[in-house]
Amino acid sequence: MIDSNKVRRETMRWNILLVLNNARPVGAYEELVLATMQGMFPDASALEVRRELDYLADRDLLDLRKEPGGRWFGALKRYGVDVVEYTVECDPGIGRPAKYW
């Protein structure tokens, strides 16, 4: 049986990494990430995106700055870039598609 919540979380994590990869070298505020996620998951919430940003920061894939005004800002670290570029193995928890080329 497919766990749709797990698939959603892992797909969202992968897509967050892609958004931040496209925002390199500057990074992006959570509003851009949320807007992109809502393009794929119309019911995605700010809390859900923050939860996945926090997860990816805990995995040391990105720097996460939580500003005093309440906004969050993320930027990929070297290892996060390597995961996106398929130069390193991707541990479970991120829905990175299999490399086909």
- What ranges do the domains of the chain cover? 4-84
Answer yes or no: is pLDDT of 99 > 90.
no
> pTM to 2 decimals?
0.94
The pLDDT tens digits for 70-86 are 999 999 999 999 999 99
Both structure tokens of 75: 């930027």
Q: Which fold has domain 4-84?
A: Arc Repressor Mutant, subunit A (1.10.10)
Strands 72-76 and 28-29, sheet pairing: antiparallel
Q: Which residues contact 54 (CB under 8 A, 6 or more apart)?
A: 64
Q: Give dist(CA 28, CA 9) in Å, integer.
A: 20
Q: Give dist(CA 98, CA 71) in Å, integer.
A: 33
Percent of the chain residues topping a pLDDT of 70: 100
